[in-house]
Structure 1
Amino acid sequence: MRTWALFFAFLYLNIYGQRYTSEWYNTDNGLPQSSAKAIVKDKYGFIWISTDDGLVRYDGISFVTFNNFKINNLHFGEFIGDPLSDSITVLNNFQENKIIIKNKIPRLTQRYSHDKTLFSNRNSFVYRIATNTISSHFYNDVQYFIQLKKSSYHFGEKNIIIYKDGKGNETRINIPFSNKDLSNIFVYNETLFINNFKDRITYSICQGKLSVSEKPSLFNDPGTKIYWQQITNQTFIINHNNIYIVEYTENKPILKFLVQYNEIGNHSYYSMFYDKDFNKLYLGTLNNGFNILSLSNFYVARKETEFSNNVAYASLPFSKKTIITENGTEFGKNGIVQKYAFGNNDSYFMMYDSSENILIKKRNSVIRFFKNSGYKKKDSVLLKPGFENFMKSGNLFATSSSTTSGNHLYLSKKETFGTPDFTYTFNGFINTFFQYNRNEVLAGTSDGLYLLTLGKNTPAPVLKNTHIKSIIRTKDNLVWVMTNKDGFYLLRNRKMIKMPEDRNGYLQSAHYILEDQQGFYWVSSNNGLFKVPKKQLLQYAQDRKSPVFYYRYTKKDGFLTNEFNGSSQPNAHILENGEFVFPSMDGFVFFNPSDIKTYYPDRKKIYMERARIGNSGVVYFNNFLDLKNNYKTADIFIDLPYFSNLENLYIEAKISGKENSDWEQIPIGKDLKYTISNLSPGEYTLNVRILVSPDGEYEVKTVKFNIQPLFYQTLLFRVSFSITLLVIIIVIVQLATNFLRIKNKALKQIVHNKNSELKETYLNLEVVQNNLQKEAEYQKKLVETISHDITTPIRFISMLSQKLYESDDIELQKKYFDSIYKSSEQLYQFTLNLKEYTELYRTENIFEEKEYLVNRILESKKKLFYEIAKERGTSIITTAREHSYSKVNEGILSAIIHNILDNAVKNTFDGEIILHITSHKHTTIITISDTGTGMSLEQIAIYRNLFKNPKIETPSFRGKGLGLHMVIHLVKKIGAEINFKQNYPKGTVVEITLNKNQFL
C-alpha cells in the first residue's frame, strides 16, 4: 500500500508542457449535425463520430456521413465493441436499432438482448456503464454494472461493490461508496479505479483484490474531472484546465500531460479521444460541434505585453537553454527569463567578442556590454559616417560602410575597429562575409557572391545578379549560401549548386539552415519551416536529378506565424541543451528536433474502394470498376487516414492501358480523388503512388477499370456490319441485273412498237423526204471530208515511216518520230470527235423529257479541260451565279460547248477562259470568251454567214477543219443561235442562245 501511495504522490512530477492549435468543425464545414457524442478510431485508422444525424467517418481530409440507413431514428449514442477485431457497434436512442461498423462501412444489423445498455429488473433499472463522460450523472435508485472481457463489476448497494469473475463467482468489496461516486471511476483492462475526492483516497480493485492509496494526487483532487471510454481504453484527467491522459506501466497508472486548454469549461464537452499516432486530441460537444487540438512541441517565446514588437532578428545564445536579443531580453522556450538594460539598439547586428562581451550596433557606434559585470557595464566606439555593420567569421573581423564612393568591406585580424588590414569595394550593398579558408573570404552583396583573396584587391565573382542574404557553415563542414529570392545553394569546390525548390516555391526566400543529430536539415523561410533529409540534398548536388522531399511546418503545427526572419549574421542557433531557435515575425521558435515528428501515411492503410460516377451517389467496388459507355466523369476516391498538415502529402497518379498518361500530382482539396474523363472504351489501370517515408519511399496502389464500348464500337458489331454490307451489295447487284433485264425486254418491245408505227407513218414520208435528202447530202459531204482529212495524215505518216526506215541519223530519226507522234495525235483526236458527232447526227430527240441544270455541263467541261489549260498557263473561270435549266438534248448541247471550249483552250496561252450563263424570260445565253489568238474578222464573217444561210445545204468542209462546222450544224439542229465576235483586247467571244419557248 505504501508503494501505491508513494507512486501517486509523485504524479505531479511526470508532466511537461505542450502548445496546440485548435480547429472547430460543425454543420458549416463537414458535420451533418453539431453534436459529437462519442469518438473512436477503427483498426483502419479512421476516426468515427456519433451524432444525432448519423455516423461520420473522418480521415483528416474530409468527413463522410452515413445516415441513409432504413431506420427512422438517427440519434446515436456511445460506441461499444472492439476496434481491433473490426467490430464497433452503436445503438440509437431508446435502443431501437443497432449499427455495426465493419470494414470501414457502417451497416444496420440485428439487435440482440445483450446489446442493450439499459435493462429492467423487476421494479428497478440496470444500466451498463461503457463511458464515463465529463458530465455524467448517476443515481442511487439505479443499478449499474461494468462489463469487462472476463469479469464484471456491479454497483447498487451502498458501500458495496460486487466483483463477478468469468465463472460467476462473486466477491463483495466494502468501501465508502455510493452510485454518485461513479463519476470518479475509470477502468483499465480488468482493474477498477475509484477516487474519493472528499477524503483524497484512491481505491483500485483488480480481480476482486482491493488496494488503497491515501496520499493526495491529481486522481483524487477535488478539482479533477474524469473522462473514461471503455472501447478506446482511454482515461483523461482534467484539472484546472490541464488535460492529462492516463498511461500505464505494469498496470499502474501514470499521468502524461497533454495540454493546458483554458476553454475546456466553455463548451458542453461530452466526448474525448487522444490519437497518439498524430498527437491530436479530439473533443466532442453536445451542441457546438467537433474540436481538434493539434498538440505541438514547438514553443514560441515572445513578449506578452500589449503593443509589443515581437519581430525577431538578431540574437545570441546566452545560456544552455536561452538566447538574448539586442535589447537585453533573455528568452527561453517558455518566454522571457530576464531583462538586461541594453536600451534601444539596432535590431540586426550583435555578436560576442573573444571575451564573450556582447557587441551591439547603435547608429554609428558599437556598444560593448562586459560579461564580467553581468552585462551591466558598457563602453562604446564611434565609427566613421556611413558605418553599416560589423561581423565576425573565423579569426577575421569585418566592418562595412556605404559612402558616395561605393560600398566598402574592411577586414582585420584584430578585434579593434581601427585601421583595417584589407579593404574591398563593391557596387552592391554588403550583407555578409565568410572566411572560406585561411587566405580566402566570401563576400555576399545585394548583387552577387564574390571570392576575395587576402592581399589582392580584385574580387572574383562566384554568383552574379543575386541578392545574397547569409553564408552558413553547418557542422558537417558544408557551406550554404542563402539568397533573397533565388533559393539556397551549396558551395562546393568554389562552385554554386542550386538546391531544388519545394513544390510551392516557398524556399525561394530561404533564411537559415541548421543540421540536427538525426541527419536532417532545418531551413527557415518566408513561408514556413522546412525539414529535409541531408542525404537527399547531397545526392541531388551530385547528380542534379534525384528527388528531394521537403516536409513543411506551419502555423497548424504550433507557430504564431509562417514567416520567419533572417539577417546577415547568424540568427538561428543550436543551444547547449540541443534545442533549435529560429526567429520569426512573431517571436522566437524553440524546439528540440528529436521531439518533432514527421507524419506520413501508413502504407497498410491506403484504400481505393469508393467511386462517384457523374452526379450519382457513391458506389463501392473491389479492385475493379466497370464504367458504362455513357459515363461523363468518374471520381475514384483515395481514402487514407492522415491527420497532419495536408501540404506534406505527396500523391501522384497516372493511367495506363489503351491510353497512357504521365505521373501527375493529385490536388489536395475537399476530397482526395482522381477524376477519369474523356477516355475511349477499353481496359485501363489507375496507378496511385503515395510518399510514405522521408526517405522517398512510395506505396503504389492500383485499380483496374473498364470503359464499356458503344454498340457500334464492338468487334461483334463491326463483323456483323461488314457481313450485312456485303449482303446488301450482292442484293443490289442482283436487283440491278434483274432491272436491266426487264428494261432490255421493254426496249425490245418499244423497238417492235416503233417499227409498227413506222409502217403506219410510211405515208407521211413524203413530207420529210426533202429533209432526208438534205441529210443524206450532208452525210455524203461528211464522208468526203473525212476521207480527205484521213488520207492526208495517213499518207504523211507513211512517208515519214519510209524516211525513218532509210535514215541512220539519230537526230533526224528523233525529228521523224516527233512528226509521226504529232500526226498520230491529230488523227486520234479527229477519230474521237468523229464517233461522238456521228452519233449526234443520227439522234432524233433534240429535247429531254425533264429539265436539267445547264451549269452542270459547264462545270463538267471545265473539269475536263482544266489540266490541259493549266499546262498552257490558262485558267478557266465560271462566273454563272444563278442556276439555268433547259430541255435541249443534253448530249448535243454538251458537244457544242465541248468543241467551243476545246478551240478556246487550243488557241489560248497564258490567258483566261470565262464561262458564263445569263438566263432571261424567253432565252438562255451561254457565253464562252477567251483571251487567246482569236478569230479574224474574215473568219467571223464566214461562220456567221454559214449559220445564217437559211438552206440546210452545207458546203464541203475540206481544208477548213471539222469542229465549228459540226457546231453550227448542231446549233441549227436544236433550233438555237450562235454568234461570234472578237474579245478585246484579244481573243474570241462565242454566244449560244437557247430558246425556252420551243419546249414549253
Structure 2
Amino acid sequence: MPSYWFTSDNGELPQNSIKSIAPDKDGFIWMTTEDGLVRFDGQQFKVYNSDNITGLRSNRMMFLKKSRFSDGLCVNTDVGQTVHVNQVPEVLPQKTKDRNENQELGYLFSNNVDIYTSYFINSPTYNILLKNHYYSVTRDSIRLYNLKHKRLGAFSNRFVNGTKFFVIDDKLFLKNKKDYFIVSPTRLVKINFNMPTSGDETIYANNAIDQAFMYQNGKLYYLTAGKNGITPKLILSDFNTVKNNVSTLYYDPKLGIVYIGSLTKGFMIVRPQNFKSYTDIQDPVVYSSFAYDSVSVVTGRGQIISSNGTIRHLKTVLKTDKFFSILDNNGDLWTINYENSFHRYKKSSNYSLSDDWSLKFTPSLLYKDDKGLMWIGASNYKKYDEGKLYYIDPDDAAKKLNWAADFNFLPNSAQKIGAHKFVIGSQNGLYTVDLKQKSIVKNQLIGNAYIRGIQSSKANEIWVNTYNNGFFLIRNNVTTHFPFDRNKYIRSAHCIVEDAKGYMWITTNKGLFQVAKSSLIAYADKKKSTIYYHYYDKASGFKSNEFNGGCSPCATKLANHYIALPSFEGMVFFDSQSVRPILPTNPIYINEARIDNKLVTFKDTIVINRNFSRVTFFLNSPFYGNPENLNIEVKLDNADNQYWTKTNDNYTISYTSLYPGEYKLTARKLNGFDSEYQYKTITIIIPPAYWQTIWFKILVLITFLLLLYFGFRQRTKYIRHRNLLLEKKIIYHTTELKNTINVLTKTKADLSEQIHSHKKLIGSITHDIKSPLKYMALTGKYLYENLDRDNPDFQENIKTMYTSSFELFHFVNNLLEYSKTYLNKNDIHTERFSLHQLINEKIKLFEPIAKSRKTVLENNVSELLHLTLNKQLFTIIIHNLLDNAVKNTEAGTITFSGYKTLDTIGIILTDTGIGMNPELVAYYQTLSQRIKSEHYEKQFTKGIGFTIIIELLNLLNGDIKIESEENKGTVITLLFKR
C-alpha cells in the first residue's frame, strides 16, 4: 500500500484538514478543507476560495452534502454561505430551496457529522436526505417527509449518544452499540451484519454519496446492503484509521480505488495492485520458466515460485544459462548452457537425471515444434557469421542429433510456420527458412533489427519482438510494424503473451503494456490508424520496471489464469481474469483559460480581445490511473499550424498570436482498448478592429471604386487636352527633325570624305617616312658591318645610328599596320601558318641587335605547331614582344616555346632581362578586361607597345599571362583557343 500523503507541505493542498470527499457527475473528486474547496482530477489539484469564487466571504468549508434541487453537491461555510459545487463553484443566494426551512440554522441536508444529544440544544432536528424523501431526527422521534414536507410516517425513538446514521443504496441505517437497524417509515428493523462484531468497530459514513465503511482491527471494510442485511467487503489491510486521524472516505467500487481524508495528514489514494513480484534473494534476476503445477513455475535456475509468493528449489542443480527451459511432450525438461552443450532432465527422476549433448558452437536457440521435435540452434560467437540448426526426436531411443541447416547468421529464436518452414530470428534480422527447398529469405520490412523473441498466438499469427524497433505481426504472409507508445518504451519489446480475454501483454525495459488484440489486428488490416497501449509501472505492484526477454519461454500461463513474467527483481504474477485497468474514459473539459494574467471561465465559446499577449487553455479529463495513459492532443483549426499537438504535463496549451477571426480548438484522447478517439471542441472568437471588419472593407472598396471612377474621368479629360498639345508639338518637332536629318546627312558625307583623306594622308606620310628609314637602317647596318674596327667611338656611334633607325623603321611599320587594322577591324581575314617559321623570321630580324647586346635568341617551338589567325596582326604581336625582350635583356637568353591541349594553344616567351615591377604586371594583366569594357578609352601612359599587343590580342580573341620578377626576367604566355 502506498504511504504518500498529499499535503499542504508538498504544495498540493491549501490545508491538511480534509473534512469530506465526494465525486461529482463529471468524474471530478471534491474535498473540503479549512482553507478552501479542492477539486482533484486524478493528476492535479485546483483550489477554489475567495480568490476565484465570486462573493465568497470565508474559505473555511464544512461538509459536502447532497443538494435537493441543484445539480451536484453543496457545501456550507463557517459563516453560513452555501456554495454550489460544479465545475465552476458559485455562492447560492441566501434564500434558496437548498436551505431546509425546517432547520433554524439553515444547515443543508445529509450531514456527515456525528451527532450527540448536545446537538439538539441548538438545532431541534437532524435531517438526512434520500432520493425522494428525507428523515428528520429529533431527540425523541424519527419522522419521514416527502420533498414537499408532507409527513409520511413517524415513530418514537429516544436518541442515544453514539448512534451512527449512514445511508446505503438510498436506505437509512443506524448503528446503536452492537446492533444495526434499517429505518422504516414506522419503526426500526434490526438486520444482520454478515460479520462478527464487538461493538467497538467504527462506522464512517459518507452520506453525500450513500457510502458507509467499517473499521476494525486494522482493516477497512466497504459496506453494502441486501436482503440478507449488511455485508462488509475488505478493501484495505494494515491501516490504522485512528492513528492517521481519518475523517472521511470514498471508495470507487468499479476501479477498486480508496480515497482517504485525514484531519491532520491531508489526502491519500490507495489504488489496487494487480501485480505481485516475488524475488529469490539468492538469485533475483529470472528469465525462462515453465509451469510446474497449476499455481507455480520453475525458472531456468530451478527456482519453484508460486503465485501466492512461496519459493522453493528443485533438488537438482540444473546445467543451464537460465535463458531456455522447455518441456517436451513427455514432460522432460530441456535446457542449454554456454559450455557448448544442452541437456534433457527426466521428469520420471524429478529432474535429477539428465541426457547431455555437446556441440561445436555455443547453443543459442531451443524450440519445441507442433510435433514435439526439439530444435537446437548453435552460433559461432567468434565470427558472428556462422550458425547451425539441429533437431532431436525426444522419443528416439538412439538420442540422435540431426543436422538441419547452416546459416550465415546467429539464430536465437524460432517459430514453425509450415511442414518444412520456419521463421528464424537473429541479431541482424528475421529469416524464413525452407528446409525442403533449402532456401533462406530475409524479411525486408524488419530489416537488420535485433530479434528479441518470436511468439505465435495462432497458426497464421507470428509476433516478433525486437530491440529498438518495437514489435511486428506476420499474418497471412503480410508483415505489419506497429507504432510506438508516447515515450517509445515499447521500442524494446521483450515478450508478447496473449491472455484468455483477448489482450496482449508486452514486456519492455521500462514497464508492461496491455493492448487489445482486436485493435492490433484492425491496425494490421488498416481499419485503425492508432493503438491504445495501457501502461503499467512499479506503482502497479512489481518491484522493477525492467522485464527480461531473449529467453524461451518468456512468459508462462498457469491453470489458475495467472501469468508469470520474468524481471530484474523476481517473477511478476498477475491474474489475467481479474486485472482492472484504470482507463481514461471520462470526457475532456475545456472551460477555463488564462488571458494574459486574467483567469476566465466559459462554456463552449470564448471571446478574446484582439490585443491579448498570451492565452492559455486548461484542459481536464478526470483520470485516476497512471498519467502515462492519459494523452491529450489539441489542434487549432483555421490557424497556420493545423497539426495535432500534445499538451504539456499540466494539460495546458498556449497561443501568443492569433489573427482576428473564429477558430475551433479541438482536443482528443484515446478512451481505452477500442483505440477510438474522444473529442471536445470549443469556439474561439477574436473580434476584429473596425478596420478589419467586412463592412469596413466593403466601405473602403466602394470608396476606392468611386475615387477610381472620378480619377479616371479627370484623367481622361486631362489626356485629351494633352493629346491636342502633343499633336501641335509633333508637327513642330517633325519639321525640326527633317532639318536636322538634312544637316546630319551632309555632316556624314563630310566626315566620310575627311576619314578617307586621313587614311590617304597617314598612308602617304608613313610610306614617305618608311622608305628613307628603311634605307637609313640598311646603310647603318652596312657601315656597322664594314667600318674600321680600330676606332671604338666611331663604331659605337654607327651602332647607335643603326639601332635607332632600325627600331624607328619597325615602329613606323607597326603603326601603319595597326592603323590599317583599326580602320578595317570588321574585315579581319585568317589563315593557317607555321608558328615555328614565323618566329624564325623575327629572330633573324632581331639577331644583329641581340648579338650587339650579347643576348642569345632561341626558338624551341615545334615545327608541327600551326595557328589559324590573322597572320599580319599576330606578326605585330610577336614583333613587339621580341622587341621589348631584346631591349630589356643584355648578356642573357630569350626563348620561344609552345604547347597545345585539347582546346588551347599556348606560346611562351621567356627572357632573363631586367623584369617588371609588380605594379606594372598588375596593370597589364587587368588591361585586357578593361579593353573589353564598353567604356574603355585608349591610353598609352604605360607604354604603347604592350597596349598595342593587348588590343590586338583582344581582336584575335586571345589572352595574355605575365609573370615577372625584377632583375630576374619575364615569362609571357599567349593563349588562343583551337
Shorter-chain TM-score above 0.5: yes
SS of the residue corresponding to residue 131 of structure 1 reads coil
Q: Determine the structure 2 residue equivalent to 1:57.
A: 39
Q: Tell me whether 1:287 sits opposite 2:270 in the alignment.
A: no
Q: Determine the structure 2 residue equivalent to 1:943.
A: none
Q: C-alpha displacement at 1:611, in angstroms?
A: 1.6
- Aligned partner letter, 1:285: S
Q: Determine the structure 2 residue equivalent to 1:393.
A: 369
Q: Tell me whether 1:237 sits opposite 2:222 in the alignment.
A: no
Q: Give the conservation status (yes or no) of the 8 Å contact 1:21–1:558.
A: no
Q: Determine the structure 2 residue equivalent to 1:645.
A: 626
Q: Tell me whether 1:531 sits opposite 2:514 in the alignment.
A: yes
- Aligned partner letter, 1:547: T
Q: Determine the structure 2 residue equivalent to 1:196.
A: 177
Q: C-alpha displacement at 1:247, in angstroms?
A: 2.1
- Aligned partner letter, 1:646: P
Q: 1:385 to 1:286 in 2, by over 3 A?
A: farther
> Residues 119-198 of structure 1 correspond to what in structure 2 (within 5 A)?
130-131=111-112, 145-149=126-130, 150-152=133-135, 154=137, 156=139, 162=142, 164=144, 167=151, 169-173=153-157, 178-180=160-162, 182-183=163-164, 189-194=170-175, 196-197=177-178
After alignment, is 322-331 or 56-65 more displaced? 322-331
Q: Tell me whether 1:483 sits opposite 2:466 in the alignment.
A: yes
- Aligned partner letter, 1:713: Q
Q: 1:299 to 1:550 in 2, by over 3 A?
A: closer
Report Cα offsets for 1:280-319 as digits up to 9, x if no partner.
21111223221111223x221303x7x5543331111222
- Aligned partner letter, 2:367: M
Q: C-alpha displacement at 1:454, in angstroms?
A: 2.9
Q: Determine the structure 2 residue equivalent to 1:249.
A: 226
SS of the residue corresponding to residue 38 of structure 2 reads strand
> Residues 732-881 of structure 1 correspond to what in structure 2 (within 5 A)?
791-793=742-744
Q: C-alpha displacement at 1:205, in angstroms?
A: 3.7
Structure 2 stretches lacking a partner, 5+ long: 713-735, 751-929, 942-946, 952-978
Q: Determine the structure 2 residue equivalent to 1:357.
A: 332
Report Cα offsets for 1:319-356 as digits up to 9, x if no partner.
22332223444333331265443447532221213321
> Residues 898-937 of structure 1 correspond to what in structure 2 (within 5 A)?
910-911=932-933, 931-933=936-938
Report Cα offsets for 1:346-380 as digits up to 9, x if no partner.
3222121332133445664656555446x374345
SS of the residue corresponding to residue 474 of structure 1 reads strand
- Aligned partner letter, 2:258: L
Give the TM-score normalised by the residue count of structure 2.
Answer: 0.65
Q: Give the conservation status (yes or no) of the 8 Å contact 1:681–1:709.
A: yes
Q: 1:687 to 1:512 in 2, by over 3 A?
A: same
Q: Give the conservation status (yes or no) of the 8 Å contact 2:7–2:15.
A: no
Q: Determine the structure 1 residue equivalent to 2:185.
A: 207
Q: Determine the structure 1 residue equivalent to 2:76.
A: 91
Q: Determine the structure 2 residue equivalent to 1:609.
A: 591
Q: Determine the structure 1 residue equivalent to 2:291.
A: 317
Q: Give the conservation status (yes or no) of the 8 Å contact 2:342–2:363.
A: no
Using the alignment, how far apart are the partners of 1:84 and 1:348 within structure 2?
66
- Aligned partner letter, 2:616: D
Q: C-alpha displacement at 1:632, in angstroms?
A: 1.5
Using the alignment, how far apart are the partners of 2:695 and 2:352 within structure 1?
99
Q: Give the conservation status (yes or no) of the 8 Å contact 2:213–2:222.
A: yes
Q: 1:485 to 1:639 in 2, by over 3 A?
A: closer
SS of the residue corresponding to residue 549 of structure 2 reads coil
SS of the residue corresponding to residue 623 of structure 2 reads coil
Q: C-alpha displacement at 1:76, in angstroms?
A: 0.9
Task: Give percent identity, aligned residues only.
Answer: 24
Using the alignment, how far apart are the partners of 2:581 and 2:266 within structure 1?
28
Q: Determine the structure 1 residue equivalent to 2:646.
A: 666
Q: C-alpha displacement at 1:723, in angstroms?
A: 8.9
Q: C-alpha displacement at 1:619, in angstroms?
A: 0.8
Q: Tell me whether 1:76 sits opposite 2:51 in the alignment.
A: no
Q: 1:602 to 1:787 in 2, by over 3 A?
A: closer
Q: C-alpha displacement at 1:86, in angstroms?
A: 1.4
Q: Equivalent of 2:504, from 515, 521, 524?
A: 521
- Aligned partner letter, 1:246: L
SS of the residue corresponding to residue 348 of structure 1 reads coil
Q: Give the conservation status (yes or no) of the 8 Å contact 1:301–1:334.
A: no
SS of the residue corresponding to residue 500 of structure 1 reads coil
Q: 1:590 to 1:477 in 2, by over 3 A?
A: farther
Using the alignment, how far apart are the partners of 1:96 and 1:484 within structure 2?
64
Q: C-alpha displacement at 1:103, in angstroms?
A: 5.6
Using the alignment, how far apart are the partners of 2:165 and 2:436 within structure 1?
80
Q: 1:985 to 1:479 in 2, by over 3 A?
A: closer
Q: Tell me whether 1:333 sits opposite 2:304 in the alignment.
A: no
Q: Equivalent of 1:501, from 484, 488, 494?
A: 484
Report Cα offsets for 1:23-79 as digits up to 9, x if no partner.
635453432222221111112221111011111112223222111244443111111
Q: Determine the structure 1 residue equivalent to 2:789.
A: none
SS of the residue corresponding to residue 678 of structure 1 reads coil
Q: C-alpha displacement at 1:606, in angstroms?
A: 3.3
Using the alignment, how far apart are the partners of 1:215 and 1:65 within structure 2?
40
Q: Give the conservation status (yes or no) of the 8 Å contact 2:460–2:475.
A: no
Report Cα offsets for 1:666-689 as digits up to 9, x if no partner.
32422x233233222222222333
After alignment, is 622-631 or 659-668 more displaced? 659-668
Report Cα offsets for 1:583-607 as digits up to 9, x if no partner.
233333333334334555556x433
Report Cα offsets for 1:431-461 as digits up to 9, x if no partner.
2222222212332222222233335666443
Give the TM-score normalised by the residue count of structure 1.
Answer: 0.64
Q: Tell me whether 1:225 sits opposite 2:230 in the alignment.
A: no
SS of the residue corresponding to residue 525 of structure 2 reads helix
Q: C-alpha displacement at 1:227, in angstroms?
A: 0.8
Report the RMSD for the aligned CA atoms in angstroms. 4.5
After alignment, is 144-153 or 67-76 more displaced? 144-153
Q: Determine the structure 1 residue equivalent to 2:851.
A: none
Q: Tell me whether 1:596 sits opposite 2:579 in the alignment.
A: yes
- Aligned partner letter, 1:579: Y
Using the alignment, how far apart are the partners of 2:676 and 2:552 within structure 1?
37
Q: C-alpha displacement at 1:661, in angstroms?
A: 3.7
> Residues 29-44 of structure 1 correspond to what in structure 2 (within 5 A)?
29-44=11-26
Q: Tell me whether 1:706 sits opposite 2:685 in the alignment.
A: yes
Q: 1:431 to 1:224 in 2, by over 3 A?
A: farther
Using the alignment, how far apart are the partners of 1:359 and 1:693 within structure 2?
41
Q: 1:909 to 1:119 in 2, by over 3 A?
A: same
Q: 1:510 to 1:266 in 2, by over 3 A?
A: farther
Q: Determine the structure 2 residue equivalent to 1:414.
A: 394
Q: 1:130 to 1:571 in 2, by over 3 A?
A: same
Q: Give the conservation status (yes or no) of the 8 Å contact 1:118–1:126.
A: no
Q: C-alpha displacement at 1:472, in angstroms?
A: 0.9
SS of the residue corresponding to residue 304 of structure 2 reads strand
Q: Determine the structure 2 residue equivalent to 1:696.
A: 675
Q: 1:185 to 1:486 in 2, by over 3 A?
A: closer
Q: Equivalent of 1:624, from 590, 605, 629?
A: 605
Q: 1:131 to 1:529 in 2, by over 3 A?
A: same
Q: C-alpha displacement at 1:569, in angstroms?
A: 0.9
Using the alignment, how far apart are the partners of 2:571 and 2:33 within structure 1?
41
Count of residues paired in the alignment: 725
Report Cα offsets for 1:196-231 as digits up to 9, x if no partner.
34xxx444443344444678725x245632211111
Q: C-alpha displacement at 1:410, in angstroms?
A: 2.1
Q: Determine the structure 2 residue equivalent to 1:450.
A: 431
Using the alignment, how far apart are the partners of 2:738 and 2:597 within structure 1?
87
Q: Give the conservation status (yes or no) of the 8 Å contact 1:184–1:196.
A: no
- Aligned partner letter, 2:416: Q
Q: 1:191 to 1:251 in 2, by over 3 A?
A: farther
Using the alignment, how far apart are the partners of 1:90 and 1:397 within structure 2?
71
Using the alignment, how far apart are the partners of 1:368 and 1:103 within structure 2?
66
Structure 1 stretches lacking a partner, 5+ long: 1-18, 734-784, 800-907, 914-930, 937-981, 987-1000
- Aligned partner letter, 1:299: F
Q: 1:515 to 1:156 in 2, by over 3 A?
A: same
Q: Give the conservation status (yes or no) of the 8 Å contact 2:166–2:172.
A: no
Report Cα offsets for 1:849-875 as digits up to 9, x if no partner.
xxxxxxxxxxxxxxxxxxxxxxxxxxx
